[in-house]
Amino acid sequence: MKKRILLLFGLLSLFLLLTGCSEIKQPITADSKGIWNEYIVYPLSWFIKEVAYLLGGSFGLSIIVVTILIRLVILPLMIKQTKSSKAMQALQPEMKALREKYSSKDQKTQQKLQQETMALFQKHGVNPMAGCFPLLIQMPILIGFYHAISRTREIAEGNFLWFDLGEKDPYYILPIIAGITTFIQQKMMMAGTENQNPQMAMMVWMMPIMIVVFAISFPSALSLYWVVGNIFMIVQTYFIKGPDLKAQATGKAGGTKK
């Protein structure tokens, strides 16, 4: 879990670095050079514009539709992430027993704990880093969205509901919704494990706070993308982990499940 938190901070740092580059002020066109522009930014810009034309010129609706289509494309990875989270939840009692068995903080004991934990993961076919793969996929898309929005005049000047797509939300409604939906999504993904793993509990709160902080500063279109993606994930997680979530809500989940 520590590796996942470090990875998250690393990716967010990369996001800040790329969003602050001088290229952000250059319009994106079919003639823009570079792998990043040719294979990420321009295709996203073109796709958003084409979908908008099909939807009567609404770039807001286009971003919603494009977000859903992207989520459908990466759905197998997201399902794998959710199932990995569910498998990790099932292993929590055994992991807790290992932590109690190797509770000493000396280096030799901690090395033994890591070896036993990895053996447990291998025995049950669980990859503790599987939950990071979707984040690795989503971050370039998120940065690409930022560039496509900022560097495409039609999108940046578009408006949707109460906000301008290329500007910050003046009422901070979208950033707050982004934070709330992130919290719900994280809570559902980690349901049943927070009490057994304090680091996971910290992640449930840390991620939404970071999303709100970033969403306040960036174009509303980016928050719209994040909110729609979160809602998609909430629905997906409900269908995959629905029985467990219902059982936990009624107080029947947890100790009796292995």
pLDDT tens by residue, 210-223 = 888 888 888 888 88
Q: What is the mean pLDDT of residues 75-95?
A: 74
For residues 96 and 68, give the distance between their C-alpha atoms in angstroms, rounded to a whole number: 38
113 assigned to some structural domain: no
Range of the domain at 167: 2-85+132-249
Q: Is the pLDDT of residue 65 over 90?
A: yes
Q: What is the mean pLDDT of residues 137-159?
A: 80
For residues 137 and 89, give the distance between their C-alpha atoms in angstroms, rounded to a whole number: 24
Strand partners, 164: 159
Q: What is the pLDDT of residue 2?
A: 46
Count each helix (H run) and each strand (E run) in the chain, helices first.
11, 2
Of 47, 65, 126, nearest in space to 94 by CA: 126
67 assigned to some structural domain: yes
- The region, left, alpha or beta by phi > 0 then psi within -120 to 50, assigned to residue 126 is beta
Q: What is the pLDDT of residue 99?
A: 78
pLDDT band for 46, please (50, 70, 90 cuts).
very high
95 assigned to some structural domain: no
31 assigned to some structural domain: yes
231 assigned to some structural domain: yes
Q: Is the pLDDT of residue 154 over 70?
A: yes
63 assigned to some structural domain: yes
218: exposed, middle or buried (C-beta count within 10 Å: 0-12, 13-18, 19+)? Answer: buried
Ranking 8-17, 185-194, 197-206 by mean pLDDT, the lowest is 8-17
Helix or strand run (H / E) with residue 163: strand 163-164
Asked if residues 120 and 91 have their Cβ atoms less than 8 Å apart, the reply is yes
Q: What is the pLDDT of residue 22?
A: 46
For residues 188 and 235, give the distance between their C-alpha atoms in angstroms, rounded to a whole number: 10
Domain count, the chain: 1
Q: Is the pLDDT of residue 230 over 70?
A: yes
75 assigned to some structural domain: yes
Q: What is the pLDDT of residue 245?
A: 58
Q: Model-level pTM greater than 0.75?
A: no
50 assigned to some structural domain: yes
Amino acid at 154: E
Express as a percent the part of the chain with pLDDT over 90.
8
For 75, the token pair is 């759905």
Q: What is the pLDDT of residue 200?
A: 59
